[in-house]
Amino acid sequence: MSYFSRRQLSNSIRTLQNEIKSSVKLHHRQQNSAGKGTKFEKSFPSYEKKPVKIWDEQNISKDEFFRKKYSFINDKQREALDKKVERQRRHRENRRQQENSERSTNYTRERQYTERLKIPKNPLSEYVYGTHAVLGALVANKRQSFRTLYVSNFKIINPLIRNLTKQFNLRVEDDVPRDVLNNLSGFGVHNGIVLETRPLEIPMTTALGPHDSVNGTYQLAIQNELYNTIETQEREVARRMEPDAEEQSAPPRYPLGLYLDGLMDPRNVGAIIRSGYFLGLDFVVVPDSESAKLGPVSSKSSAGALEISNIFKTSESLHFLEKSRKNGWVVISTTGNMSEAAMAKNEVTDEKIITPEDLHSMCSRAPVLLVMGSEGLGVRTNIMKRSDYVVGIKDNREGGAGIVDSLNASVAAALLIEKCVNGR
């Protein structure tokens, strides 16, 4: 091969090498500002040498260096220097003490925080949480004892709660971390306040007794579970009645109660109790079993109404309803499906159906016990058979409500109670 041929081949190979890009990009092959590659050693951290002290350069000790440096000063300069050195020593000592104090304080805070995180929950106690729930528990004072109030900041809580803690001589744990409050409340919305207390004791009732519409009172048969005896208690009708303008006399006052059949959601139960208390409901009766627990969740959902309302339980629902009917109470069950087709197939409710507009007139003539069932199953058939009437709320959508075939139990209860009380 001639010289020119070899040179032409070499130029062709060089051109191909420049045009073909490398398939692997080396990480250490970085480009600097000049466009040149950096060395691989540049990827390692560099260790700069400490500057050499002047006394080390002179090969003498530090004390000897400063002794020579200040050996020619006069007495006045010596006194000023001593004051400066003393001031620096004092400053260093103060700074050291402050750092030790801060370190000790931080350690104490961390230790207290860790200890508070380990607060065990008492299985015999209930932890009522939320401002209104705690206030309701303290105001009602129905629980056997109050043990400890845990708060994130005692200064900013409700003033009524602060006064009641002094009245009950209640132990207060202030500045409690939020993690501790979350643990005590079961990660509920606690508003920075949790009350450790005894569980709420619900009285057992066996029947609703006679009523006095003139004086606005009614009676209940309360069972003493300790001695297994029956006591009769008299209660006053809660809602107010405006006097008739023509007769100039107070109208008769009949009690209105609510029986919750098989409601398992404590939030729904709490919301129903809240609405009922606000609208003037006299009492609520729940089954002793197969019902939501009336605890902190229900109390929070009721905004404290659970604590101040008249709540009763019964162990024999059917006997309770039968005895109450014999004593003059009208039992009205509710249903979530009021379509004509459903009512035509339901033999149980034949000739018992009434509209919500009829409730007010019934509550003006006799004591009424309204029965609410769960959203899924509704009122049980054996209870509906023992009811005097059945009422429900129809949907107003053309063509039906589709998959939304009923209202939430708490919403339906509020609407029906409002119909009973005001007729609107």
pLDDT at 28: 47
pLDDT at 236: 92
Query: What residues have CB less than 8 Å from 187, skipping those under 6 apart?
Result: none
pLDDT at 260: 94
Give CA–CA dist 115/232, Å, rounded. 50
Comparing C-alpha atoms, which of 384, 388, 378, 381 is closest to residue 412? 378
Full pLDDT tens readout for the chain, 424 residues: 565 566 666 767 666 556 555 554 544 455 555 555 566 666 666 666 778 888 888 888 888 888 888 777 888 888 888 888 899 888 989 888 888 888 887 777 666 665 666 677 888 899 999 999 999 999 999 998 999 999 999 999 999 999 999 999 999 998 888 888 988 999 999 999 999 999 999 999 999 999 998 888 999 999 987 888 899 999 999 887 766 555 566 788 899 999 999 899 999 999 999 999 999 999 999 999 888 999 999 999 999 999 999 999 999 999 999 999 999 999 999 987 665 445 545 555 556 888 899 999 999 999 999 999 887 788 898 998 889 999 988 887 776 666 777 788 899 999 999 999 987 6
| Alpha helices by DSSP H, 118-200 | 131-140, 159-167, 178-184
Is residue 317 exposed (0-12), middle (13-18) or buried (19+ Cβ within 10 Å)?
A: buried
pLDDT in tens, 389-414: 999 888 877 766 667 777 888 999 99
pLDDT in tens, 359-387: 999 999 999 999 998 877 888 989 988 89
Q: How many other C-beta atoms can be found within 10 angstroms of the C-beta atom of residue 342? A: 13
pLDDT at 326: 94
Measure the N-to-C terminal CA separation of the chain; round to a whole number of Å: 113
The pTM of this model reads: 0.70
Query: What residues have CB less than 8 Å from 176, skipping those under 6 apart?
Result: 116, 150, 151, 152, 194
Strand-pair partners of 195: 128, 149
Domain spans in the chain, listed from the N-terminal domain onward:
126-197, 204-395+405-422
With contact defined as beta carbons under 8 Å apart, do 331 and 387 qualify?
yes
Is residue 26 exposed (0-12), middle (13-18) or buried (19+ Cβ within 10 Å)?
A: exposed
Give CA–CA dist 272/372, Å, rounded. 10
Comparing C-alpha atoms, which of 160, 155, 239, 152 is closest to residue 190? 152
Helix (H, G, I), strand (E, B) or coil at 140: helix
Strand-pair partners of 232: 221
CA dist 372 → 62, 317, 412, 413 (Å): 93, 13, 9, 7
For the domain with range 204-395+405-422, which CATH number is right: 3.30.460.10, 3.40.1280.10, 3.40.1550.10, 3.60.40.10? 3.40.1280.10
Tokens of 376: 């899924």
Give CA–CA dist 287/238, Å, rounded. 23
What is the CATH topology of the domain spanning 126-197?
60s Ribosomal Protein L30; Chain: A; (3.30.1330)
Give CA–CA dist 33/80, Å, rounded. 54
